[in-house]
Structure 1
Amino acid sequence: MHMNFRQLEVFVSIVKFHSFSKAAEELYLTQPTVSAHISALEEEMGVQLIVRSTKAVYPSAAGAVLYEYANNLLMMRDRTYYAMKNYPEMLTSTLEVAASTVPAEYILPKLIHEFTQQYPQVLFSMRETDSGQVIRRVLTDEVMLGFTGTTMDDDKCQFQEIAKDRLVIVAPNTEAYAQYPRDAFPEDALRTAPFLQRMLGSGTRKESDAYLINCGVNPADLHTVAYFDSIESIKRAIEQGMGIAIMSEISVLDTEQQKKVLVFRNENPFMHRRLYCVYRKERQLSPTAELFVKYLKDTCQ
């Protein structure tokens, strides 16, 4: 014989009422049936769970431990039943997510499209902001899921990889920059060229600063001429010859193919990064959010 939910229900009821007869009454069972369930449970566990005396009925030390686990198991059973019973209706809700620029504009549209092809009743609402704000909104429960180009040291968050990316150096398509090898943009040129930067809080900015420091270039010493929120604005500024920038490769592929800019792929471990789905570890995700997270795990391996 194996432990079952009915035995746990009987056990929890006896502990709650300190009585076999009241437990039998609550569960619409006879008292002998209640006693049989407890005897079978104690035999299965190999320990005494209920102390019976002429004056009181109470859990043993082992029974007190089981009581906590039994309550959790019964609660999880009820939640599972509710979720499955209401699954079709629960999947019709809107899933609010926050995403930094690169995931929002170059990764998520395809993933969301493919997901909604399978689950057309799901409606997405996406807010675009920088990586720092995405993580803040996840931690404050403004959104269930976030998508970023960087991580942070916070044990409250779970980061799940959804894509690989690399950073590249992007320059105007001029003779001055065309002389450099496409896999070796000079560090001296990084120090002196007019530089276009993303705002603080951007995942790309954080990762590009790490690359520069690894190259021995202090980001504060760059010849920065402008800061931008928008990737598209930086691309247009580079096309006009305003300066160079470190950008996500996926964001400049189209501009490179049109020969509007030059792209340099310096080989350096700090130029490689990952994009993430982030959610708060202790928050119970909705069925829709759980389904989308599972879809990402299956699709983005």
Structure 2
Amino acid sequence: MDQYLHVFVTVVEKGNFSRAAEELHMTQPAVSQYIQTLERTVGARLLERTNKYVRLNKAGDAVYHHAKEILGLYTKMQRIVDDLTNKASGALSIGSSYTFGEYVLPHIMAKLQTGYPDIDPTITIANTKEIAELIANHQLDVGIVEGHFKEKNLIVEKLAEDSMVIVASTKLLNINKNHLEKDTWIVREPGSGTREAQESFFQKFNITPKKLMEFGSTQLIKESVEAGLGISLLSNWTIQKELILDSLQIIDIKGLPIKREFSVITKTPFQTKALEVFLDLLRKNTLIPLQK
């Protein structure tokens, strides 16, 4: 059945039978036969077909969602079985929220590839909410996230502590607490762990910014702050180069920095050797940079 689901998922993601057949190294009639057999098995038509495309109907959407989860579980099971007699190798799908994924994870991956070249990692960078959902649906092996998330039945391990500080352009002088409500605040999008920390900061310090600008990238926020567009609350991990280059300054406000935790999340206690090795490297090498 896993092969039928694999063919079905490929057809859906490629958008038509011919591209799916090419991807699967099958003939188009063979692909069509697999889909027809799967539809007979589940007792419902799953795809709306035209000469140009195929689209999921309501039943197909339900099957597609669960097929992705089933295939993820099957792949994970096979890796665990293979690992019983083999060294750390094979695929490892890693998810991370932006802060950790863009500023810390690359250094961990360099060490992983140096010590374990037979491990084949793929990395997905998204906000905390999206990574947690992918882990819950068995589409990622492991995730590193900040903030809180509502998905149940996830295994959570605290990994590291991060410091959140207010940053402004070094072109601006004499920034103090009086500027916090008057200045433009540049913030991340809802669902981001950084945005969650920013909202908590506003609540804790009873601040109601007159103007918010919402950007979907920490790098874009840093560039905008450097240019004098506004101020922001960012992770100390993300601003090390800018502090060295003296393009950003930390605003010293009583009660800061705010501390937040990063966690590792997984779905199952059964781990491949590749995942065990990666988690060990995470625990040993996740260090908090010193503030300037």
TM-score range normalised by the length of the shorter chain:
0.5 to 0.7
Q: Where does residue 134 of structure 2 map in the other structure?
A: 137
Q: Where does residue 288 of structure 1 map in the other structure?
A: 274
Are residue 196 (structure 1) and residue 186 (structure 2) matched?
A: yes
Asked whether the 8 Å contact 2:90–2:274 carries over to 1, the reply is yes
Asked whether the 8 Å contact 1:151–1:159 carries over to 2, the reply is no
SS in 2 for 1:200: coil
Q: Where does residue 48 of structure 1 map in the other structure?
A: none
SS in 2 for 1:120: coil
List structure 1 segments (4+ residues) > 6 angstroms apart after TM superposition: none
Asked whether the 8 Å contact 1:207–1:270 carries over to 2, the reply is no
* Residue of 104, 108, 111 corresponding to 1:107: 104
Asked whether the 8 Å contact 1:211–1:270 carries over to 2, the reply is no
Q: Where does residue 169 of structure 1 map in the other structure?
A: 166
Asked whether the 8 Å contact 2:108–2:281 carries over to 1, the reply is no
Q: Where does residue 122 of structure 2 map in the other structure?
A: 125
Structure 1 residues 85 and 97: CA distance shift in structure 2, 3 A: closer
Asked whether the 8 Å contact 1:96–1:144 carries over to 2, the reply is yes
Structure 1 residues 261 and 298: CA distance shift in structure 2, 3 A: closer
Residue by residue, what CA displacement relative to the aligned partner does 1:17-64 show, whole Å, maximum 9, x if unpaired?
xxxxxxxxxxxxxxxxxxxxxxxxxxxxxxxxxxxxxxxxxxxxxxxx
Q: In 1, Cα distance between the equivalents of 2:220 and 2:83?
A: 47
Q: In 1, Cα distance between the equivalents of 2:206 and 2:146?
A: 23
Q: Where does residue 208 of structure 1 map in the other structure?
A: 198
Structure 1 runs not aligned, ≥5 long: 1-78
Shift of 1:285: 2.8
Structure 1 residues 178 and 156: CA distance shift in structure 2, 3 A: same
Structure 1 residues 239 and 298: CA distance shift in structure 2, 3 A: closer
* Residue of 241, 265, 268 corresponding to 2:255: 268
* Residue of 167, 173, 176 corresponding to 1:178: 173
Are residue 254 (structure 1) and residue 255 (structure 2) matched?
A: no
Q: Where does residue 86 of structure 1 map in the other structure?
A: 85
Asked whether the 8 Å contact 1:178–1:262 carries over to 2, the reply is no
Shift of 1:155: 4.8
Greater radius of gyration (CA): 1
The 5 Å alignment of 1:197-236 reads: 197-217=187-207, 221-236=208-223
The total of aligned residue pairs comes to 209
Asked whether the 8 Å contact 1:168–1:263 carries over to 2, the reply is yes
Q: In 2, Cα distance between the equivalents of 1:85 and 1:164?
A: 34
Q: In 1, Cα distance between the equivalents of 2:170 and 2:81?
A: 60
Structure 2 runs not aligned, ≥5 long: 1-77, 288-292
Q: Where does residue 229 of structure 2 map in the other structure?
A: 242
Asked whether the 8 Å contact 1:210–1:270 carries over to 2, the reply is no
TM-score by structure 1 length?
0.63
Q: Where does residue 69 of structure 1 map in the other structure?
A: none
Structure 1 letter corresponding to 2:174? Q
Asked whether the 8 Å contact 1:100–1:130 carries over to 2, the reply is yes
TM-score by structure 2 length?
0.65
Q: In 1, Cα distance between the equivalents of 2:169 and 2:209?
A: 17
Identity over aligned residues, as a percent?
Answer: 17
Shift of 1:224: 2.9
